[in-house]
């Protein structure tokens, strides 16, 4: 997928759900994965011509794994003229060594978001952009149905009252396949997660399930996404 196509989908999401306002300072949470780097690319280029001026910075929470290499992301941020903030933590040691969590993902996510939100507020940001794409939206709905017995997925825009931060999701109209195509075409420097639990999660199970459903019933993912948009869910 070409950059112009990415920008078109991102701008449509931003305009449809009024994600950006004049004077916003938006942080992009950078994991090093394909999704967050695609979002960084898109917003850094969008700010050059978007009618409502906004500032941008990138933030990575370093969980403390020894083999996490962020040099290529630092170079990318310099190229895109985006401030890059690295937040050092000992989350990996706490979860895998001190507590030896058998199901580490939930606690890790809470601790990571806490460190991320604190750093964002210190940087003077009022919004944070998450790199959730269309597949993530649909997968979250299926996870809620299967594992929690409720109909729920995250909204395009969410306000975090405790932190006084607004979460926006500008990639929500992009398919994961589109992200992969963009990353490959532009040789985006993706950094593989060093987490030992990576790829062995409930989300991965649901991702594979959705892939199989879409193979057997072509278009089912888009129909579920349309149902979410039309289902009177909070924030949609």
The pLDDT value recorded for residue 85 is 96
Task: Determine the pLDDT at residue 2.
Answer: 93
Helices (H), 17-104: 34-46, 71-80, 91-92
Q: pLDDT tens, 136-187?
A: 999 999 999 999 999 999 999 999 988 899 999 999 999 999 999 999 999 9
CATH numbers and ranges of domains, the chain: 3-229 (3.40.50.620)
Q: Is it the case that residue 12 has pLDDT exceeding 70?
A: yes
Give the residue carrying structure tokens 């950078």: 30
Q: Which helix (H) or strand (E) holds 226?
A: helix 220-229
- The residue assigned the tokens 């990138």 is 58
Of 8-12, 65-69, 112-116, 204-208, least confident by mean pLDDT is 65-69
Q: Which of 50, 70, 53 is nearest to 61 (CA)?
A: 70
The string of pLDDT tens digits covering residues 53-85 is 999 999 999 888 877 788 999 999 999 999 999
């Amino acid at each position: 997928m070409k950059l112009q196509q990415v920008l078109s989908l991102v701008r449509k999401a931003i305009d449809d759900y009024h994600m950006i306002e004049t004077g916003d300072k938006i942080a992009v949470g950078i994991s090093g994965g394909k999704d967050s780097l695609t979002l960084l690319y898109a917003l850094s280029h969008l700010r050059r011509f978007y009618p409502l001026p906004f500032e941008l910075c990138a933030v990575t929470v370093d969980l403390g794994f020894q083999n996490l290499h962020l040099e290529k992301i630092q170079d990318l941020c310099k190229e895109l003229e985006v401030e890059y903030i690295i937040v050092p933590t000992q989350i990996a040691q706490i979860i895998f060594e001190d507590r030896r969590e058998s199901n580490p993902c939930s606690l890790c996510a809470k601790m990571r978001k806490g460190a991320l939100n604190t750093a964002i507020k210190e940087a003077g940001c009022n919004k944070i952009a998450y790199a959730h794409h269309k597949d993530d939206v649909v997968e979250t709905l299926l996870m809620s149905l299967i594992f929690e017995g409720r109909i729920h997925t995250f909204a395009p825009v969410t306000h975090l009252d405790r932190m006084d931060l607004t979460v926006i999701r500008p990639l929500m109209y992009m398919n994961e396949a589109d992200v992969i195509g963009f990353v490959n075409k532009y040789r985006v420097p993706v950094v593989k997660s060093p987490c030992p639990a990576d790829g062995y999660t409930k989300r991965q199970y649901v991702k594979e399930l959705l892939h199989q459903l879409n193979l057997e019933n072509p278009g089912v993912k888009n129909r579920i996404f349309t149902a979410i948009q039309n289902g009177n869910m909070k924030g949609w």
